[in-house]
Structure 1
Amino acid sequence: MPLSVELGTPSAGRVPIILSGELDQSNAGLLRDAVRAALHLRPAVVCVDFALVTFMDSSGLASIVAAKRWCNDAGCGLSLDALSHSMLRRFHMSGLTELLGLPAPPP
């Protein structure tokens, strides 16, 4: 399933990015482009919604790490919302939970 990336309506300093489909090497640039576009709006927080993400490879993880760095540089937060158990485990297994401020997945 191809990735759909939608920049949502900013509200209360938050800019949502809604993802749907598979986040992989062929389309990770779409997420990076959306984060850059969100940062132009000078949000307090960029919120990436993972509710409809069915797969993510290492390119997707790298895009999230880049987004975190860009948000830090811009003085705003990055929130990863609606992470499934399997997505949370993927971040945990990659050693990224602390960097991204995520909880450890339940056993």
Structure 2
Amino acid sequence: MDWRFTDDRPIWLQLTEQLTRRIITGVYPPGSRLPPVRELAAQAGVNPNTMQRALAQLEQDGLAFADRTAGRLVTEDTSVLDAVRRAQARVLIEHYYDSMAELGYARTEAAELLKEEHL
């Protein structure tokens, strides 16, 4: 999974979003150790301080925690992971409805079309 950035939002926020996606998709499974800050920063091509800010946000969001001996670990709390996964899904659903509205579809029509095409 490549690191991708746009100019419309702060890099640390985009890093947080991409790390979150990696956690909820299992790239970094529950209980696993996240790579060190400098390693992640080098992979992403960003300043370590920027990566540190993103990792601090993950901790604030409950997705990761610091352990004195093991470094930074992904939470094992599946309720937190499920809630974040569900929130991400809601964002994607809203994007779908917004795109369909641009094509002239009402929400109910867009939902029905989705049912027809994918069930």
Provide the TM-score with structure 2 as the length reference: 0.32
The structure carrying a bigger helix percent of its residues is 2
Provide the TM-score with structure 1 as the length reference: 0.34
Larger radius of gyration: 2
